[in-house]
Structure 1
């Protein structure tokens, strides 16, 4: 039976029959950031010279393996996937040259997801612009078209790229050469900052910079949106495809940045503390790109002290390598932001990226809002019912969404426990009070993110779907992997992971919000050099190294007790309260019945291996144990309560 199309009604996802849907899913998958052929894992050497001939067919998995993985996701109770692709996957061969075979493959994955009862929203993923700048996303030719030479980025210190930092002969985790999560610092490096400024604000800051007869901003956005349209045409008509993510975790480049400002601590311009890594100012980045050296303040995390501390300044680009191609020039220099003089650099306009023609610019109002409208217009030209899953720069999340956004927009912001993510450590709270305090902290953080959606859809509000959250599974120097290798198949090595995920899902249950956990990577390995295949991240809920049992649907799963849990998938009315107590197995759901029809609750065998009992106030229930679900009908309009208790 085809999945019902979903639309928005205030803060809820609503089906064609008026029932409310809570989406619980997973990002599929972490290795979609890199090519399948040749294998683009970041622990494999490359100079990216083959960027036009790569193929992403096989990401997230070969078609022959798709039924196994999609069946596993369904068995674990997920009802949607945030399906990753990249601009590079579609248009790597050159501007306007789409990979038709990949598009066919991608559409087949979407159809197979439908056959397994999974909704899909399509994420054109990126991290720090591209693989050549330490992440993933944009094709390599985007640099050539704007006059940049990505082969010079490392030598100039203009990007922080694992493949150039990593000692491949040594292998393993290398905190000394490529510390955990340092890829994200690339947003501040010049190669990234230039590209994001061109992409979002080229018309404002370099209006005379033309590429093939168009301003650089229009050129880049037109090609990005063209790749999105190519995918959209392939999946048109599939009822399980909900819509498109606007762009994963976009950067802001130099927009709103004071030309000489280095953020080394709280100030009137930025009241937050310093961030780990180099404290780049725009003029630092522009100078380094031009081939000048700069001494830049540097910070690191001092775990023992529990704070970020300043180190000695770092000299960047001591070899004075320019990243501009021969004959190319910096358009911001030409536009009057700065000038090179006497072997150095001189700021001409301190407020160049803050004001234009007397107008104080706003990243959200002036650049994100028009971009959201462009994305929505382009994909809705193919299917007018598709939803826009909107994201803003995660470093600017406190600014919220722009006031003017398209109708049919979902708050798809991300959230992580940053401390756990960066340190790869999670300590289980020692007392019930401490446990509750941690959960309350998560709930407050997520409640703030949920509140951002109230301004969307012309002030009518929007559903919140946390597009990413999760934990590293290589906590404590991969202690769980070592226990697995030694033959320990108990749940004990995964206790920290289970508790962390349980607290996160408890917070989302309390707020009745949807989510897609990061991530499910079919090729994941219990190897600290590999993990999800990208920048030594390892957040996959599945590992091929823990699989191997064809008769066990849970084979390969990690810390299942933390995320395979009961929840109300669809409600014939409006949800009011949802609570699962993992320690006791007790589940409670309360909703306001407003219409006829069934309320469906996922009840996993994993949490109730010996069965369960059900009590319903204001209605009746029918068990469908084969499909791990409970179907509830209200006796009449009004409040209905459902309690599930495990049989011990």
Structure 2
């Protein structure tokens, strides 16, 4: 078994902030569009490498539902910042109300046109994108966002009086809003049909988009009137009679224009913050499903509401349970898995726990959120990675140190074990080599190696120098490859 020790110091120009964009190897057939597909529990790229996503949510919840091209919003400098810090994923809040704002089934093409500079900037930096019909509490009139005006029909008898609303997330529990969701699941007024048509429009736009990782059909769907009972048994009937049929309708609409990209199902809203089962089942003939799940420890939520919190270390058990459950649900529905929301806090202990547990389960993630952006529907105002959204130098340093991690972005084989210590920078990763048409690529954190990274590879070789905080590994044979990185002391 070959043992190659390579000691590399961070290049001075990189620490000075110079940007040298690494261009990935050409596709094996010279034509494959870089998009992710499901292969068992994994997502794989156009070379057959297993991709592990460490990304951030980009959701602008105010009109016009797309971040402005300003320092406060999103520009090329933001995309460079994401790339430089190793974030290779973004969940983009392409809202239903933006796609078909005025009439059912009638697209406003200018909306996705306004998103395109963001999409292009991310794709140019090899950042995978999940397109998300984000919604919270349905519509602004209920204190939320997501659905168009024309899709918001006030039900009887509630329409006879003023709307009874409550702040997020308690607004979900108002009888009128719960009825709105039940009417949607029942396709009253054809609103569910039009939701599916809006997804066909969106998928048609992005079907050939480089660095797409597919479509997240609905953020945190609310079960409706029976929602509170989901806290007891997880609402299996809601999945059987409402969520699964609705999502399959939207899936079929997507497949009329896009047969290939991953389509992601999300569980009912409480599943993100309680130890509850979820009940999605396979879809006949469908090979590219995803389970998009959220992870919000109840102790962190209690802290955000000013309530007495329990032992934050209890979040480790909670996060472990949720990761294991997600993998199990993925197996049961024949889907890949992604922790597409977590965090929404400045509590660095909680962030460190969730990121460590995700590593141990080889789980990809999208942290909430990149910038705060005046989020009107959040349980915790302490979010975003910056003190000032318009100043990329105003990072929350302790928080960033938990999120910027040494990790394998693409693996030419099957991942087996991943560990990273945010205190010391110690990193160990083992994988079994496979038949991918490109080398393994590992991002090396620029925040954790004061004296530069010392890199040891057992079972393979480093085939390039440290470039843009990334190294490439090629296996020496068929035996497992183990990569170890420590501070060069």
TM-score normalised by length of structure 1? 0.64
**Paired position in structure 1 for 2:86:** 77
Give 1:581 shift.
Answer: 1.4
Show structure 1 runs of 5+ residues with no match: 36-54, 163-182, 203-214, 264-268, 273-353, 355-360, 474-496, 525-529
Gap runs ≥5 in structure 2: 1-22, 25-32
Q: Deviations over 1:462-509 (max 9, x none)?
A: 322011100423xxxxxxxxxxxxxxxxxxxxxxx3332121111000
- Alpha-carbon separation, structure 2, partners of 1:624 and 1:616: 13
Q: Which protein has the larger Cα radius of gyration, Structure 1 or Structure 2? A: 1
Aligned equivalent of 1:184, options 169, 188, 212: 169
Selected match of 1:33 from 61, 64, 67: 61
Quote the residue 2:294 is aligned against: 414
Alignment of 1:152-163 (within 5 A): 152-154=161-163, 157=164, 159-160=165-166, 162=167
Q: Are the counterparts in 1 of residues 344 and 380 from structure 2 also a CA contact under 8 Å?
A: no
Q: What does the per-residue CA deviation read over 1:357-376, in whole Å, with 9 as the maximum and x for residues that have no partner? A: xxxx9221222222222122
Distance in 1, matches of 2:91 and 2:209, equals 15
Candidates 82, 95, 117, aligned match of 2:104:
95
State the distance in 1 between where 2:327 and 2:403 align. 21
**1:382 paired residue number:** 257
CA shift at 1:546, angstroms?
6.8
SS in 1 for 2:449: coil
Cross-structure match for 1:470: 343
1:232 to 203, 213, 223: 203
Question: Which residue, out of 65, 75, 94, partners 1:66?
Answer: 75
For the Cα contact (< 8 Å) 1:34–1:534, is it kept in 2? Answer: no
Which moved further from structure 2: 532-541 or 5-14? 532-541
2:155 touches 2:176 (CA, 8 Å); kept in 1?
A: no
CA distance in 2, matches of 1:362, 1:533: 31
Change in 2 beyond 3 A, CA 1:449/1:641 = same
Matched, 1:606 2:479: no
Cα distance in 2 for partners of 1:185, 1:504 equals 25
CA contact (8 A) 2:303 2:309 kept: no
Cα 1:149–1:558, aligned 2, differ >3 Å: closer, same or farther? farther
TM-score, structure 2 normalization: 0.83
Count, aligned residues: 452
SS at match of 1:375: helix
Q: RMSD in angstroms over aligned alpha carbons?
A: 3.2
Residues 148 and 131 of structure 1: is their aligned pair in 2 closer, same or farther, counting only changes over 3 Å?
A: farther
Contact 2:169 2:378 in 1 (8 A): no
Contact 2:330–2:336, Cα closer than 8 Å, also in 1: yes
Give the superposition deviation at 1:107: 3.0
Q: CA 1:235/1:441 → structure 2, altered by over 3 Å: closer, same or farther?
A: closer
| Aligned twin of 1:540 | 383
Work out whether 1:616 is the aligned partner of 2:457: yes
- Listed one character per residue, the Cα deviations across residues 309-328 of structure 1 (whole Å, up to 9, x for unaligned) are xxxxxxxxxxxxxxxxxxxx
Give a deviation string over 1:528-572, Cα, whole Å, max 9, x none: xx5x354574353333627646xx5x7576621010011111111
For residues 299-357 of structure 1, the C-alpha deviation after alignment (integer angstroms, 9 at most, x for no partner) is xxxxxxxxxxxxxxxxxxxxxxxxxxxxxxxxxxxxxxxxxxxxxxxxxxxxxxx9xxx
Q: CA deviation at 1:452?
A: 1.4
- Seen in structure 2, the aligned counterparts of structure 1 residues 620 and 151 have a Cα distance that, compared at 3 Å, is farther
CA positional deviation for 1:56: 3.1
Tell me the residue number matched to 1:334: none
Aligned mates of 1:67, 1:623 — CA distance in 2: 27
Which residue does the alignment assign to 2:435?
Answer: 595
Is 1:403 aligned to residue 433 of structure 2? no
Distance in 1, matches of 2:247 and 2:97, equals 21
Output the CA distance in 1 between the equivalents of 2:46 and 2:342: 29
Residues 547 and 557 in structure 1, CA contact (< 8 A), matched pair in contact too:
no
Alpha carbons 1:546, 1:557 under 8 Å: kept: no
* Alignment partner, residue 47 of structure 1: none
